[in-house]
Amino acid sequence: MLKLHDVIKTYDGKSAVTALAGINLNIGTGEMVAIMGPSGSGKSTLLNLLGGLDVPSSGEVVVAGKDLAKENEKGRSLFRRSKVSYIFQAYHLMPTLKVSQNVALPLHLAGIPTGEISRKVNRVLKEVGLEGRSHHLPDELSGGERQRVAIARALVTDAPLLLADEPTGNLDTARGEEILNLLRTIHRERGTTIVIVTHDHKAASACARLIKLRDGRVEGDSTLPGGAA
């Protein structure tokens, strides 16, 4: 599913900063992987590259058979629309849209017919347990519920790859546990490949594999006992 070969990412400025210094990595279809590392290790940059939000300075990022480094802006947009979905720490929900509208947003961008959108939205809202909240605004929901909306939005496109950036970072322990359970269920039932960037050991332990980053390099890559297989 994911293949990174000699990936380097440098940010130009008054002094160039190397965020990733030659990453080589393979993640198979249906894996649930955690990426951990201290601040500045390159976790978020790596996630951005995997999702086609950014391009590497050099190297190959092949996701679902597509080398994202060679795609133009439009190609990467279309890739994001169909192959990948995101969950952010800060949810990034549209504050003015109702829950159902937030979930429907990627389908509208893809030009899916309204009837189908409605059907898919209802299905995923039920899946994440928010069917009774579809007419609420994000501000009217708890942090855990907001993250469920973000997960529903990620699921609605049926993308094979789900990237989560600190999905439990803004939640208390109980709400965080709920979200991790939900992700585990999605992984198990849908077979979605999930990559989670986290500082939280508990979140990492929900995964079957742990990749550790330090100073833009892979420091360790190990299988976790008891994680989602």
Site string for other proteins, 146-165 (x = CB under 8 A): -------x---x--------
According to DSSP, residue 138 is labeled G
Nearer to other proteins, 21 or 78 (CB): 78
Judged by CB, which is closer to other proteins: 70, or 201? Answer: 70
Q: What Cα–Cα distance (Å) separates residue 62 from each residue in 43, 53, 114?
A: 17, 14, 33
* In the complex, least distance from residue 41 CB atom to other proteins, rounded to whole angstroms: 17
Cβ-based nearer residue to other proteins, 44 or 193: 44
Report, in Å, the least distance between residue 74 CB and other proteins.
Answer: 5
Q: Which of 7, 23, 11 is nearest to 218 (CA)?
A: 23
d(Cα 95, Cα 160) in Å, to the nearest integer?
Answer: 27
* Closest to 92 (Cα-Cα) out of 169, 31, 192, 19: 169
- Report whether 104 contacts 117 (CB < 8 A): yes
What are the distances in angstroms from CA 132 to CA 50, 60, 71, 127, 138?
34, 44, 40, 12, 13
List binders of other proteins among 73-132 (CB under 8 A): 73-74, 77-82, 86, 88, 92-94, 96-97, 101, 104-106, 108-110
Q: Which is nearer to other proteins, 48 or 168 (CB)?
A: 48
> Counting Cβ atoms within 10 Å, is residue 116 exposed (0-12), middle (13-18) or buried (19+)?
exposed
The nearest distance, CB 4 to other proteins, in angstroms, is 17
Which among 175, 176, 156 has a CA at the least distance from the CA of 112? 156
17-27 vs 161-165, strand pairing mode: unpaired
Q: Which of residues 36-65 bind other proteins (CB under 8 A)?
A: 48, 51, 53-54
Q: Which is nearer to other proteins, 48 or 198 (CB)?
A: 48
With CB under 8 A, what is the number of residues at the site for other proteins?
28
Q: Is 17 in the site for other proteins (CB under 8 A)?
A: no
| Contact footprint for other proteins (CB under 8 A) | 48, 51, 53-54, 73-74, 77-82, 86, 88, 92-94, 96-97, 101, 104-106, 108-110, 153, 157
